[in-house]
Structure 1
Amino acid sequence: MSGPDANPSNISFKAILLLLAAVLCFDVMSIFVRILAASYTPQELSAYRNVLGMLPSLALLIWTGELRFRAGALKIEQWQLALWRGVVVAFAQVFFYSALAQLELATVATLGQTNAFFVVILSVLYLGEKVGVWRIAALFIGFAGVVWILRPGSDAFTMAALLPVGAAACYAFAMVSVRKFGPDTSNALIYLYSSIGSAVGAIVLAFFTAEFSPIHSLFDGLLILVMSIIGGTGVLLMMIAFRMASPSVLAPFWYIGILTAGVFGWLIFDEAPLDTLFPGILLIVGAGALIIWRERKRT
């Protein structure tokens, strides 16, 4: 966390960079999920992701010297909230992975941007934040770009399109709730607790809704491992970003994920989404630029 004399503009800029890195991690994870979804259920992939996804938090604990197996060393206040965050993320992942198996990457990414609205709403209701007219305007500009990209009659308006929206709501809670923890609480410990909650929740969901199949090949096992580590790293980066800056400041930058997911979908899966991305993507990027300009004007 930052010191009392830290420049708020610099903190926001660093948080934005971390969030963009998290978006890239989620894009790569989505590619792997899309490939693996041909052989494994979303519930299976979520369970694997959450169990193996604890590795980044353990690595960070070792790197920071916080991994000490003695009484009290791994305890945090509000541990119940940390565990429940993980359970909510487990539901989000099942929704998200199910959407990836049925919709184009760009469509999933676009509908996932509704989390910006859930973030702002929860920031007001759950955190009691004040959201100014500029941030609200940026969100509406970005949403106009989303609507322009979707367009009536596209395959986004199917029942499957509700899945990324449900995932967005769950992820928004995970983003906003990290600001309930004190500044001295370790990022790695929060993530470790949340990872445990996610792993337990995902395994229970998979147990009651699907059957585990054996991993078919060493290559599949490698893909699952890399997918889990990259996804876990993305969640860790996202959590740190949302502890550094206000969720309503960071929310519009999720819109960049539409562009990156569209590019990956085009290059890897030949989905050719560019015709639907423009000119809406210009509004989405413009919303992020508006937030950056406003944050600089305030300092």
Structure 2
Amino acid sequence: MGIRLVKPVQGAALLALSALLFSLMAVGIREVSDSVNNESVVFFRNLVGVLFFMPLILLKGLRPLATTRLKSHLWRTTYGLAAMYCFFYAIAHLPLADAMLFTYSAPLFTPLIAWWWLKEPLSKRMLLTTGLGLIGVLLVAKPSAALLDSQALIGMAASVLAAFAFVSIREMSDTEPAFRIVFYFSLFSALISAIPMALTWQSIAQPELELLLVIGLLATASQIVMSKAYAMAPPGLIGPFAYLAIVFAGVIAWLRWGETPDPSSLLGAALIFTASLLAIARRPR
């Protein structure tokens, strides 16, 4: 395996951008899920991801997409697609803050998974920053009683599966660039998700199709940026920056629906930023 160069500052900045794009995608999913089923939303999100790469293929052919890590891409697709089904379901059936809480608690699991899978060091500092970030997430999201419902288990599954997906990206980032990781994930996911979509087929109006297109573009861009971020630094080091998605979601909710943050949300946001800064304050040797 090649030597990985650790760039925590750049990785953290890219992960924050990915979180913003992902928050926008989640808002779109919440709106379109009122009239479009989960199977169709997942399929079109992945189909748009494949179409996103068509200009690259037409210009440069298939050579940039050649890989010797097909097995790694399949594992990444398995974890990522399963997490996507669970997350989209959670968005449609749970309060948005709760669904975002589940998905963005994934960084809590990434240091342990990276330690077990990639033998990356696990320090008390990493555990401290992720724990501090989770407290901030809880203060901002203020989970409702719906978290105690059986549907919450699907949200928790999304969290764990997403953590495995993040670490799988790190595992093959020594040879696979971000665009290739995202392309194979989109391709395999589109092929697999076409089956449940066909079994639950429904007609979709033009406004919903346009929104699905936007969702797919946001998701693909977020995936590319996120893949690049985790290629620059270990998940356990920059993972707390993913918590910024909760802050972004709160700002979007304020702008779109007039929801104003209360003192609890502001305190949670402060803890999230603190955890994020602590995560990169000390560079690894």
* TM-score normalised to structure 2 length: 0.88
Equivalence for 1:68 = 61
CA distance in 2, matches of 1:15, 1:73: 23
Whether contact under 8 Å (2:97, 2:141) holds in the other structure is no
Would you say 1:121 and 2:75 are equivalent positions?
no
Match of 1:45 among 41, 44, 53: 41
Match of 1:54 among 50, 53, 61: 50
Q: Kindly state the Cα deviation for residue 129 of structure 1 after the two structures are TM-superposed.
A: 0.7
Would you say 1:17 and 2:5 are equivalent positions?
no
Note the alpha carbon deviations across 1:47-99, whole angstroms, 9 max, x for none: 0100111233445566xx6x324xx6643112122023123222212211111
Match of 1:157 among 148, 151, 160: 148
CA distance in 2, matches of 1:187, 1:283: 30
Q: Kindly state the Cα deviation for residue 262 of structure 1 after the two structures are TM-superposed.
A: 1.7
CA distance in 2, matches of 1:254, 1:17: 10
Equivalence for 1:235 = 223
Whether contact under 8 Å (2:102, 2:158) holds in the other structure is no
CA distance in 1, matches of 2:212, 2:179: 22
CA distance in 2, matches of 1:151, 1:228: 28
* Cα distance change, pair 206–132 in 1 and its aligned pair in 2 (3 A): same
Whether contact under 8 Å (1:123, 1:176) holds in the other structure is yes
CA distance in 1, matches of 2:105, 2:178: 26
SS in 2 for 1:143: helix
* Cα distance change, pair 155–73 in 1 and its aligned pair in 2 (3 A): closer
CA distance in 1, matches of 2:78, 2:203: 25
SS in 1 for 2:174: coil
* Cα distance change, pair 43–152 in 1 and its aligned pair in 2 (3 A): closer
Q: Percent identity?
A: 25
Equivalence for 1:215 = 204
Match of 2:27 among 31, 50, 63: 31
Matches within 5 A, 1:254-293: 254-270=242-258, 272=260, 274=262, 276-293=264-281
CA distance in 2, matches of 1:264, 1:161: 24
CA distance in 1, matches of 2:12, 2:127: 18
SS in 2 for 1:159: coil
Match of 1:141 among 90, 113, 132: 132
Note the alpha carbon deviations across 1:170-223, whole angstroms, 9 max, x for none: 221111112222534333222211111211222233345xx1211212x22211
CA distance in 2, matches of 1:58, 1:236: 15
Whether contact under 8 Å (1:60, 1:188) holds in the other structure is no
Q: Kindly state the Cα deviation for residue 292 of structure 1 after the two structures are TM-superposed.
A: 2.4
SS in 1 for 2:122: coil
SS in 1 for 2:146: coil
Give the residue type in structure 2 aligned to 1:53.
G
Whether contact under 8 Å (1:55, 1:229) holds in the other structure is no
Across the two proteins, how many residue pairs are aligned to each other?
Answer: 284
Give the residue type in structure 1 aligned to 2:8.
S
Equivalence for 1:130 = 121
Give the residue type in structure 2 aligned to 1:27.
S
Structure having the larger proportion of residues in helix: 2
Would you say 1:108 and 2:99 are equivalent positions?
yes
CA distance in 2, matches of 1:77, 1:224: 32
Give the residue type in structure 2 aligned to 1:230.
L
Equivalence for 1:202 = 193
CA distance in 2, matches of 1:175, 1:255: 14
Q: Kindly state the Cα deviation for residue 3 of structure 1 after the two structures are TM-superposed.
A: 9.5
Q: Which runs of 5+ in 1 are unaligned?
A: none
Equivalence for 2:68 = 77
* TM-score normalised to structure 1 length: 0.85
CA distance in 2, matches of 1:257, 1:73: 31
